[in-house]
Structure 1
């Protein structure tokens, strides 16, 4: 019997991804690497971890970071193997940067960006972001990913995840075909089809990564802890559209299963 491949997701974890829409990977990168990245982000935003009196805003966004520590964090062997297992061998581009970074600070002020949503994936040249689109083939996005660069507990503004919501969104996207639906169309009813989903929190120590189905409904929340939260939420980009000549990946199987198609 061949030896198991290193760092691979177990069959149960792959099934969890298909059913729940996400899987948590512990120790995807080291705590020391996470610290290097946090140091660079502090420099980028012009603030200090030792001067809490200057943390005036509930959230500060950094668009993208492409220095070596961030590229290394996104491309460890554990993650590369998981990308292959969930998206298909070689069907994705290795990340050459990470972003965006919604850096959240302890605050009583409402962040103003904590609504439930799906990350749409194409049509992003339109200046009206509510016109950006997603389709049932998930054109332009292979995965939604959450990289934890600080320790994140229940009070540290962890991302909220509606477990299994990816299936409802797949069914909603199916009638729109390849053209897809706009964010305005998807959010018109407040994602009512997913409101009964159980909510999970993306918590964990620095170095944890959540790999999520592109259709997963998620939301931010206010920071009620004491230390700033550092997280990146990049896409994993696909090399092309779904290829019917290749075996369906878990991302595809989840969509087909949700839509009642042959798996």
Structure 2
């Protein structure tokens, strides 16, 4: 019995695996430190084997130099796509940072080595909640599906990476991140800003009250009171961000 190995298909599967593993290392929710690196590698290689019949169709074996170039290209493609997804979901973390800033929680910020987030309570809480919602709602499946469809836009057979289009995509992703952060935390930030304005007016009317000392417990109470409304809206926000992440990966809606 002879064992036949298609070298071209094996090589294409390896290149696809490099793109997928690089994506899982950077993109949430797979970049979470609770996932061991071995799990990410196995997940990437297993998915590469699953999509190999599609992505390696028409692939021809390369020489050593061309294979190394293709290897670096697929690594860059995976990292760029993963970073695009990271920017999309960084809006939730940025919204939590805005709430901490205007609510007076920034003095208690700390670094979370699991999620690699440096922030105060609401920054880390929003980040953990968004990761949990991604798995609970099945949003991670949409992200993986978009990653598989990325081989249609940047196929293995072509071997080229449209590097001239990366900068506009990153600029647009940064702008979308800041816009989404303001949309998420905007109502609560406005309430806290109006509380500061009210305390300032009270200080002008009655300086002896020293209203700014009262401002810390008032703003903390308002933040805790209205933060529940943000959490009620967080599932729809994560669902919308998942759609944006899939669109960023595939280049279409």
Q: Which has the higher strand share?
A: 1
TM-score normalised by L of structure 2: 0.25
Q: Relative contact order: is structure 1 or structure 2 higher (C-alpha 8 Å, sep ≥ 6)?
A: 1
TM-score normalised by L of structure 1: 0.25
Larger radius of gyration: 2
